[in-house]
Amino acid sequence: MSLRLSRFVGHRGIAAEAPENTLTGFRLAAEAGFSWVEFDVMLSADDVPVLHHDEELGRTDNGSGPVAVHPLSALKALDAGSWFGPGFAGERIPTFEETIACCRALGLSMNVEIKPTTGREVRTAELVSDMLNDLCPDLTDRIIVSSFVPDCLRIAQEKAPDFLRGYLSDTMAEGWHAAAKDLGCLSVHPNHACLDAGLVTAIHDAGFRILTYTVNDPERAESLIGWGVDAVITDEPLAAAALA
């Protein structure tokens, strides 16, 4: 399957310019010229996929306690924007369904990271897979499903096989090649800090595309692209603009 991949991917929307994992962040990413965005999906207490990175509320909203113990109604009552700046007051935690609709309207392609809370890995992957099948059957060349959790990728492989998969790794420890191949991944998504020219070549020689995170320094982005990295995930529109 072909993949319509761009050189730069907006991290959690455009995290240097707007609250992460919010619809406003995606709109501003599109305005800044990004054609791809990355975001994190986990479950509310009542099994609704929502966008949130941390298992605990509080860093990016005015809530407290685990995301997993709050129903959608409680999560929707939180302010997910004021922490970033007063101009974003009242921003809400979006559902995955709302995000798909927003990205579709903006023409944004999506790197969907399944980011389950501890103990809810299987259910999260199942519901994300079901929603992709139901809402995005025409976007299989514009969505990558990624995760640090192999079980999540395996469920996506079984339940949503038409969608491309990406193997996330912070360290690219021994065994990454076999794991990514076994999970039928098209791409590998390493932390940029572990990459050098030799490893980039080895990943490509193994048949994988490379999306690396999170690169906010233009010189580092230039080096990675020079080594042949396929896409750089970044918070900073200026890092992308400098190399456009």
Active site residues: 11, 53
Q: What's the half-sphere exposure (Cβ side, CA atoms, 13 Å) at 8?
A: 25
**CA 137-22-212 angle, 5° bins:** 70
Backbone angles phi, psi at 158, to 5 degrees: -80, -40
> What's the alpha-carbon Rg for the chain, to the nearest Å?
17
CB atoms inside a 10 Å sphere around CB 125: 26
Task: Report d(CA 29, CA 99) in Å as an integer.
Answer: 13
CB-based contact 238:12 (threshold 8 Å): no
